[in-house]
Amino acid sequence: MPRTGLTQEEMRIAALDAAEATIRRHGVERTRVTDVARLVGVNHAMLYRIFPDKAALLDGVSDRWLRQLEADLTKAAQGDGPVPERLQQWFLTLHRLKRRKVGADPELYRAFSFAAEGQRPFVARHIAFMRAQLRDLMAEAMEAGNFAGADAQATADMVFEATYPFHHPQLVLDTLDQDREPALLAMLDVLTRGLRAG
């Protein structure tokens, strides 16, 4: 246990909280590990044991947000109702949460967007999570007779890519001043009607 009395996990959480506060106040570029360590109340060498550099700290902040987002997506995927309704709710949840994040926390969203552009491992993990969740929804829909087809993963990948304009980090940022939800609903209507028709 560190001299602060915090366990390593407690220190990690405190550092992520402090990093978020620093990013909001000063922006991504001016956030430094030493400043975060000061806020946590430890020396920077101790914090470097958990986050070896600034990039790792920023990744930790973004990864935590993505895991919260994934919990909300899981609620949508496992909700009540037939799969087409849950699929719509899943994409609405993804779209709304990304828009809300960029509107409420633009600097934190920038940190995430930089990581997404750099194809960081935690971003790849997040994309794999979403594709797997969509695959499971498609498999359930095919088994229930809601959708035609036999390849749930290929169908999930097609739907995911068709809806990129509504959840890709840069595209969400670029269209923040527009109400894109009606277009998303129209796109999902076209896709689900096509899947039903087979």
Given this model, what pLDDT does residue 3 score?
52
89 and 172 co-located in one domain: yes
In terms of pTM, does the model score above 0.75?
A: yes
pLDDT of 197 reads 64
Residues 135 and 83 in one domain: yes
DSSP secondary structure string for all residues of 117-151: HTT-HHHHHHHHHHHHHHHHHHHHHHHHTSS--S-
Q: DSSP strand E in 8-79: where?
A: none
Residues 74 and 131 in one domain: yes
Confidence at residue 1, expressed as pLDDT on a 0 to 100 scale: 41
CA distances from 162 to 148, 166, 170, 172, 188 (A): 18, 9, 16, 15, 9
Q: What local confidence, expressed as pLDDT, does residue 175 receive?
A: 92
Q: In terms of domains, do 91 and 65 share one?
A: yes
Both tokens of 129, joined, read: 């999570």
* 92 and 176 co-located in one domain: yes
Q: Which parts of the chain register pLDDT below 50?
A: 1-2
pLDDT at position 113, please? 81
